[in-house]
Amino acid sequence: MAVLVTGGAGYIGSHTAVALHEAGRDVVVIDNFANSSRKATDAVRALTADSVVVVEADLLDGEALAEVFADHDIDEVIHFAAHKAVGESVQKPLDYYRNNLGSTIGLVDAMVGAGVSRLVFSSSCTVYGQPDEIPVVETAPTGAESPYGWTKYMSEQILRDAAAALDLDVVSLRYFNPVGAHESGTLGEDPNGIPNNLVPVVMQVAVGRLEKLMVFGDDYDTPDGTAIRDYIHVVDLAEGHVAALDALANGLAGCTAINLGTGVGSSVLEVIGAAADAVGAAIPYEIVDRRAGDIEQIYARTEYAAEVLGWRSERDLAAMMRDHWNWQRKNPNGFH
C-alpha cells in the first residue's frame, strides 16, 4: 500500500515524502510542477533510495487522477497541492478558487471512487486572522482575509461535509510558518522570483541575491515592536504529517483540525538575529512601513497536536536557521 502525496514536489511535500519513506511507507507523488522543479523530486528520490514514484499530472484532470488510483495501491492521501501566494490570490482570485477548490473536490471524488478514506489536508493558521487570544486554540473563530485564505477556509468546510456524508476520515493540519530545510542541504525552499516570506528573503540577503531586508513595521505592540510568528522547522512539520496518517490508521475518525506549530512566538528582529548567528554575518535591514494585511502576532497552542497525534516539534529557531542557511549556501539559486 502507498501514500499519495499531491504537490509532493513542493517545499513541504518534498520534505514530507522523505519523512514518509523514513517511516516505512511507500510514496507516490503527483505534481504538475506549476511551482516546483523536477530537481526537487530528483533530490527526494536520491534521499529515498529511488523509491518514491513521481507522476506528472494536474489534479484538475480527473481522468489522470483516477488513473493514478487505478495504477497504484493507494490507501492514504496527503493533499498539499495548491497555489499559495496571498498577494497573487488577490489579483487572480478565480485561478485560486479554481485550482485550490477544484483540486480538493476532484481529489475527494477520486478517493471515493477508489474506496480510499484517509486524508490529511494542508490548511493554514491564516484561517485564524488576528486571534483575540494567543496562543491560538483550534476552537477559535475562523475566517479569511484573502482569496487564498478563503480557499483554505472553504476546503476545510468541504472536507467536513464530505467526511460526514462520504465516510471519509480527515485531518486538516493548520500550519504556522514553515522554514528550514532538510539537513542534507539537498532539499529546501525555492521561491519563484522575489520571495514574499521573511526567511527566504533573509537568506537571499545573506547569500547576496538581495541587498537588504525590509522590516515591515517596528511599531507593533510587541516587546521589540516587530511582528511575532510561530516559525516551525519543515522537517518537524513533515513528521507531523506522518503522525496524522498514523492517527487516522489507528482509528481517528471524522474531520479534525489540528495546529502544527511550536508554541513559540519569534519577532522579526529575533529571526534576523538567529539568522545572523547561523550565517556568521550581519543581515542588513531597514525598517519600513507595516505591510498591508499583516497581523501583529500569532503562535499556536500545541496541546491538541500532542494529545491527538502524539506529536510535538523538536527543532528550535537556531536549527531552523542553520538548516535553511545550509541549503541556501549550497544552492544559492535554489534548484535553478
- Among 65, 68, 162, 201, indicate the residue that binds ligand WQD (CB under 6 A): 201
**Are 213 and 201 spatial neighbours (Cβ–Cβ below 8 Å)?**
yes
Other beta carbons within 10 Å of 78: 30
State yes or no: is 220 an active-site residue. no
In whole angstroms, how close is the CB of 11 to ligand NAD at the nearest point? 4
Q: Which residues share a beta bridge with 285? A: 213
104 in contact with ligand NAD (CB under 6 A): no
Write down the catalytic residue from 148, 175, 220, 231.
148
35 binds, among ligand NAD, ligand WQD, none (CB under 5 to 8 A by kind): ligand NAD
77 in contact with ligand NAD (CB under 6 A): no
103 binds, among ligand WQD, ligand NAD, none (CB under 5 to 8 A by kind): ligand NAD
Residue list 278-307, contact with ligand WQD (CB under 6 A)? 291, 294
For residue 335, is it left (φ>0), alpha (ψ between -120 and 50) or beta? alpha
In whole angstroms, how close is the CB of 34 to ligand NAD at the nearest point? 4
For residue 136, is it left (φ>0), alpha (ψ between -120 and 50) or beta? beta
In whole angstroms, how close is the CB of 16 to ligand WQD at the nearest point? 16
CA angle 207, 212, 216 (to 5 degrees): 125
Q: Please give the full DSSP string across 236-255, using - where no structure is assigned.
A: HHHHHHHHHHHHHHTT--SE
In whole angstroms, how close is the CB of 298 to ligand NAD at the nearest point? 12
Longest dimension (CA), the chain: 56
Sign of the Cα torsion 231, 232, 233, 237 reads negative
Task: State which residue, 217 or 240, has the beta carbon closest to ligand NAD.
Answer: 240
Structure-block grid coordinates of residue 165 = 456524508
Residues making contact with ligand NAD (CB under 6 A):
7, 9-13, 31-36, 58-60, 80-82, 84, 99, 103, 122, 124, 175, 177-178
Binding residues for ligand WQD (CB under 6 A): 84, 86, 124, 126, 177, 196-198, 201, 213-216, 227, 229, 268, 291, 294
Active site residues: 148
